[in-house]
Amino acid sequence: MNPIYKKQTWALKTKLSDQVLRDLDFTDTNMNSPIFEGVTFELCLFERTNVDNARLFYDCNFDRCIFKSVKLKNSAFGNNKGSYSNCRFEKCDFTGLHFNTTRFINCDFIRCKLKNINFNATSFLQCRFTGKLENVTFNGIYDTNKGQHPTLEDVDFSAASFGEFVSFFDCDLSACTPPLGKTFGELLYIFDLNTPAYLGTGSKNRIVIPLKR
């Protein structure tokens, strides 16, 4: 893996368009300033990479990349129609992110901080979650490509736990695996009888309208 960018700070207003960056080590690299447009990252390592205020990633794709201890919470990293394929996220902080039309394929989320997140029109195929989810919304109602890319398909939550306000809006969970020892029917309830497609864990003081098993 090429360490050319390791521990480097990218210059302000650097712009990369329609390029492939392959087999690069971005450990401890500051990537807050550049503009990335239509860039594909392949086999790259992002470890403690500084993208905390990076907002200028457009139509970027990440393939077989590893993210370790990266704070993504104030960034638009991989958003704006971005996609992740065969990627691994370990102990990354996603707090407060609002995704939009992002695609995750065969990705692992391992002990990440998944809190206060809205996955708008974001799809997951054959992904796995390990650790706690809290105040996270998987939102399929805005997905215009649902026929082509279901919001959740073959997603494994067996090593995850659901905290308060984990919600699924217009999502098909039939091909997904619930947290170990539970069923989705035991964990989720209907928030509003007028909106039966809106399911979630709610709060500890919820009034439960259980799902039919």
Quote the pLDDT of residue 141: 66
Average pLDDT over residues 129-135: 95
Question: If you ran DSSP here, which 8-state letter would residue 170 be given?
Answer: S
Q: Report the pLDDT averaged over residues 177-181.
A: 94
- According to DSSP, the residues that pair with 117 across neighbouring strands are 136
CA distance linking residue 115 with residue 184, whole number of Å: 20
Which tens digits make up the pLDDT trace of 4-58?
888 888 877 788 889 999 999 999 998 877 888 889 999 999 999 988 766 567 7
Cα–Cα dist 45/170, whole Å: 34
For residues 132 and 157, is the Cβ–Cβ distance under 8 A?
A: no
Residue pair 67/44 in contact (Cβ under 8 Å)? The answer is no
Domains and CATH numbers, the chain: 15-157 (2.160.20)
Contact (Cβ atoms closer than 8 angstroms) between residue 91 and residue 112: yes
